[in-house]
Chain A
Amino acid sequence: MTTKLLIGLDGQSSGDRALSFAENLAKLIGTAELLVVYVIEWSPYSFQTPEENAERHKRREEEISTAMERVVTPALARLEAAGIKAQGMVRHGNVADSLDSIAAKQNASQIIVGRSTETGLSKRIFGSSTANLVMGANVPVTVVN
């Protein structure tokens, strides 16, 4: 059975470092498979105008393809070049909850993320996605600085 590693990317440099770390880890393990995930922060309980609702499906498709194109596909290309088996996905939702539930569903043995880049008030109130993930995840989490 191959070991599955989930990498959470955020499109920032810390995500790149997480990717490098995972790449090395995968090489050491030998038979590892990587799952590259980008989560678009989104809440089903936010408030929108009727017009935003009418266009939501279109916007969602656009958001997914942009994230695929800019973050996930380059990461997959890099892993492929290094000879590592990998697949990518883009999801909407709460970052920490989504990473944890995907890891559970895909039987990933650990989650690798970069250190959070959030700053300011929202971090003080809600904590960072990374901290929330470390606190709540059901599999081991590696945070790369």
Chain B
Amino acid sequence: MNIMQKTALTLAAFSASAAPALAQEAGSLDARVNEAFAAFTGPFVNLIFAPFPGTSFPWIVMWLVVAATVFTLYFGFVQFRFFSHAIALVKGDYSDPNDAGEVSHFQALATALSGTVGLGNIAGVAVAVGIGGPGATFWMILAGLLGMASKFTECTLGVKYRNEYPDGTVSGGPMYYISKGFSELGLPGGKFLAVLFSIFCILGAFGGGNMFQANQAHAQIAGIVGDYPGWITGIIFAAIVFAVIVGGIKSIANVTEKIVPFMGILYVGAALVILVVNYDKIGWAFGQIFEGAFSGLGVAGGLVGALIQGFKRAAFSNEAGVGSAAIAHSAVRTKEPITEGFVSLLEPLIDTVVICTMTALVITISQQLIVDPDTGRFVLNEAGTAIATVDGNTGVALTSAAFASGISWFPYVLAVAVILFAFSTMISWSYYGLKAWTYLFGEGKTSELTFKLIFCVFIVIGAAASLGPVIDFSDAAIFAMAVVNIFALYFLMRIVRKELNSYASRLKSGAIAKFN
């Protein structure tokens, strides 16, 4: 902590000494970036989040939930029926020892998780609870459970239709299964949808996989060392990401990949400590979650407000139906693509049902959200858009304050975790975006370098812009991927069902057995 304080002081001294004039100029640069960005992305954001006529319910939220429900029913609650089988697969019970050294189910799951577990779980949940109240948590958990079926569908297809190159490397993801699957079924338009998906995937990589991460990492650092211009953080982050993805300095990525899982465990551990210490409030917190889920407890938009926020943040956090995980999972080595589908359904469970719920419980228990003592309903902020908080915190700062109320020094740990999560998510998304980019423009050094450079530029923009426009664009880009992906999944899901039936009968007959 001492070192952190010293670093903080040094950084603060640096920003203070950098002349007020410079700071002012930088501040207006941030504002200009912000303004231009908001104006440019506005129409796209409005289209994606357009409400059903006469209501305030965005059609995209319904799109995701309906899809997750359809997949859940179509595959006969696969997320529950094959849950224990998924665990056995991750443990390696069904892995052929002769394949040792290939990517294991565990590794594919861990890699995909490090791309999704991150700011969505920390900042995203705070946004959901901050606007939709504790009730949003209920809808988030429900969306997480249903989303397991979406993930299962897309990841099975991701492995089934990946490209395997003669040199032994693989490329997979929605753009591959959409084009190959559609032509296999004799359906038109597969190529068009694959291209459309790739475009949105690139935007998603720049948005949620990049700008949102840079933005919240900056907020976290600024929260500790004091306010300073966002583009400084942006340039530092961009330089490190550049070193990894362009410079090929794998050691940085490797270190992050190894630390991130422990950060995740530490985060959940800290949340558990706070919950155990406040065990007497857990019942009350769940009461708030259930009551809020159906009444809204006075939040903006009431019940629907809580529901929209819960579904939105769950989708943003676990990315079920978005198609990104299908890219990450497609590298696994298996003769049965469906096994990776089973493994991937654990992802929304870990990400949303466990980690997001922890965050939501800690925020609720910490009583950072201001409640009117007379009515028991939440007090809204001046603009009436969100619940007023004790220190006016939103996003990751709210989570940080909530943890600090239980463990005073935890914000420092959280800051490190946020920065590392942000970094590992950026590395993962730079890969997803690159795969979509090379699908469109072909593989080759120049084409890949172009993408990577643009990716680094967006880090700076993301850190400099303010949260509102960034979060809107991030959501919009990621949900646009889901529009194309889910549309295609409705046509392709019968292929998955055929795989599922065949696998289930062989598992029953003993043709597929554990290796010992």
Contact = CB atoms under 8 A, between A and B. Distances in A.
Contact of A53 (B100, B107, B258): B107
Contacts of B97: 93, 101
B104 interface: yes
B107 A57 contact: no
Contacts of B88: none
Interface string B105-127: 01110110011000000000000
B309 interface: no
Contacts of A49: 111, 250, 253-254, 257, 427-428, 431
Most chain B beta-carbon contacts within 10 A, residue among A44, A50, A57? A50
Interface residues of A, number: 26
Interface in A116-138: none
A17 interface: no
A60 B104 contact: no
A45 B340 CA distance: 16
Contacts of A57: 102-103, 168-170, 333
Contacts, number: 89
Contact of A44 (B106, B254, B427, B432): B106
A48 B333 contact: no
Given A54-B171, A57-B102, A57-B169, A47 B431 contact: no
Contacts of B203: none
Contacts of A48: 103, 107, 110-111, 257
Interface string A21-47: 000000000000000000010101111
Nearest to A42: B101
A16 interface: no
- What 4 pairs between A and B have smallest CB-CB spacing? A92-B101, A58-B168, A44-B104, A53-B331
A47 B111 contact: yes
Nearest to A51: B431
Given A46-B107, A47-B110, A54 B101 contact: no
Given A47-B107, A49-B111, A49-B431, A60 B167 contact: no
Given A50-B428, A53-B332, 8 more contacts: A44-B92, A47-B114, A50-B115, A50-B327, A53-B107, A56-B333, A58-B168, A60-B101
Nearest to A53: B331
A50 B331 contact: yes
Most chain B beta-carbon contacts within 10 A, residue among A46, A49, A63? A49
B168 A61 contact: yes
The secondary-structure label for the interface of chain A is: helix
Nearest to B248: A51
Query: How many of chain B's residues touch chain A, expressed as a range?
Result: 35 or more
The secondary-structure label for the interface of chain B is: helix
Contacts of B250: 49, 52
Given A47-B258, A54-B331, A91 B111 contact: no
A51 B435 CA distance: 10
B261 interface: yes
Interface string B225-262: 00000000000000000000000001001100110110
Contacts of B428: 49-50
A36 B251 CA distance: 33
Nearest to B516: A101
B169 A55 contact: yes
Most chain A beta-carbon contacts within 10 A, residue among B107, B110, B257, B428? B107
A54 B169 contact: yes
A8 to B, nearest CB: 16
Given A44-B106, A47-B258, A53 B101 contact: no
B389 interface: no
Nearest to B254: A49
A122 to B, nearest CB: 15
B328 interface: yes
Nearest to B115: A50
16 contacts: A44-B106, A46-B107, A47-B110, A47-B257, A47-B260, A47-B261, A49-B253, A49-B428, A50-B331, A54-B331, A55-B168, A57-B102, A57-B169, A58-B167, A91-B100, A92-B100
B364 interface: no
Contacts of A64: 101
Given A50-B327, A50-B328, A58 B111 contact: no
B216 interface: no
Given A42-B100, A44-B92, A50 B333 contact: no
Most chain A beta-carbon contacts within 10 A, residue among B100, B260, B328? B100
Given A49-B111, A61-B168, A56 B331 contact: yes
B344 interface: no
Contacts of B253: 49, 51
B95 interface: yes
Contacts of B169: 54-55, 57-58
A66 to B, nearest CB: 13
Contacts of A101: 97
Contacts of B101: 40, 42, 56, 60, 63-64, 91-93
Nearest to A91: B100
A101 to B, nearest CB: 7
A92 B114 CA distance: 25
Nearest to A101: B97
Nearest to B100: A92
Most chain A beta-carbon contacts within 10 A, residue among B101, B103, B110, B432? B101
B107 A44 contact: yes
Contacts of B260: 47
A50 B107 CA distance: 10
